[in-house]
Amino acid sequence: MNIGPTSIRMRIEPLKFPSSCDDIEAFTTLRGDVAMGNTYSEINLCDYTGDIPQHVLDCRQALCEQLGIGLDSLIMPRQTHTANISVVDDDFMALDTQHRKARLNAVDGLVTRLQRVAIGVNTADCVPIALRERKIGIIAIVHAGWRGTVARIAANAVTTMALMGADISEIEAAIGASICQKCFEVGDEVVERFSSAGFNISQLMQRDALTGKAHINLQAANAAVLTEAGIKLENITISGDCTRCNPQKYFSARRLGINSGRTFTFIIRH
Ligand SMILES: [Zn+2]
């Protein structure tokens, strides 16, 4: 059955940055009408986790209609837990679908100066991070699971923005909804990866009193990566929402399985 775009009721919620600014905004999609047993209901824009292609296309169309942009101005990478950043510029926009796809493969963060282009990432428990530098209008979006966090992908995005002329002291970051520390139980090999990458693990990890299992605070780890990269602490906001604790709002791979929908977090410069 084909579901027309008009049947999809798009729901998005703004990410809160430290300052208010209508020129550059970031949003997260909310699941919408969650149907029990349908791990893709209702808003899913991710096309590589098993959803019906027509449903994904309908959701993308519904979002573009709401934003008043064309489908070709909605850009999202094929994420593979790398620390790779790609720049979306005029040359990229001129590429055909096939070449765009190649450029976006194995990429987990995007940076652009273009207006009316929504750049976004798909997550289900991983950390989405939106960045903006308002002085010259550079924006970025990052997907950071634990691997991307350890590899400091958020710092790579900051570096890329700086190379394009952004003033790092002016960059604001909004860390979106993602798995909370209580829900994010990891094996000791993951703890070891954070430690050996130079993270202050005593601040980021707690052991459950009953199970003895390690729990890592991925949001705080990414805030640490950002401050290390030169972002002022007061220029960083962290969403309090946990994706696993809020199944009515967000997709969660730990709750729904790896083949579930994804929450789409994007930033756009108007
Ligand atoms: Zn939680």
Q: Tokens in use for 132? A: 């903006």
| pLDDT-derived band at 3, boundaries 50, 70, 90 | very low
Question: 240 alpha carbon to ligand 1 midpoint, in Å?
Answer: 10
How far apart CA 224 and CA 227 sit, in angstroms, is 5
Length of the chain: 270
Q: Which tens digits make up the pLDDT trace of 50-68?
A: 999 999 999 999 999 999 9
User: pLDDT of 221-262, one tens digit each?
Assistant: 999 999 999 999 999 999 989 999 999 999 999 999 999 999
Tens-place pLDDT, residues 23-41: 999 999 999 888 878 999 9
From the CA of 185, how far away is ligand 1's center (Å)?
A: 10
Distance 145 CA to ligand 1 centre (A): 15
Q: What's the 89 CA to ligand 1 centre distance in angstroms?
A: 37
Residue-range domains of the chain with CATH? 15-269 (3.60.140.10)
Determine contact, residues 19/135, Cβ cutoff 8 Å.
no
Q: Which two tokens stand for residue 148?
A: 């991307």
For residue 218, the CA-to-ligand 1 centroid distance in Å is 12
What distance in Å separates the CA atoms of residue 223 and residue 234, rounded to the nearest whole number?
11
User: From the CA of 242, how far away is ligand 1's center (Å)?
Assistant: 5
Q: Is 111 helix (H, G, I), strand (E, B) or coil?
A: strand
Cα–Cα dist 145/143, whole Å: 7
214 in helix, strand or coil? strand
Q: Is the pTM of this model over 0.85?
A: yes
| Ligand 1 centre distance from Cα of residue 241 (Å) | 8
Report the candidate in 120, 123, 7 with the shortest Cα–Cα distance to residue 58. Answer: 7
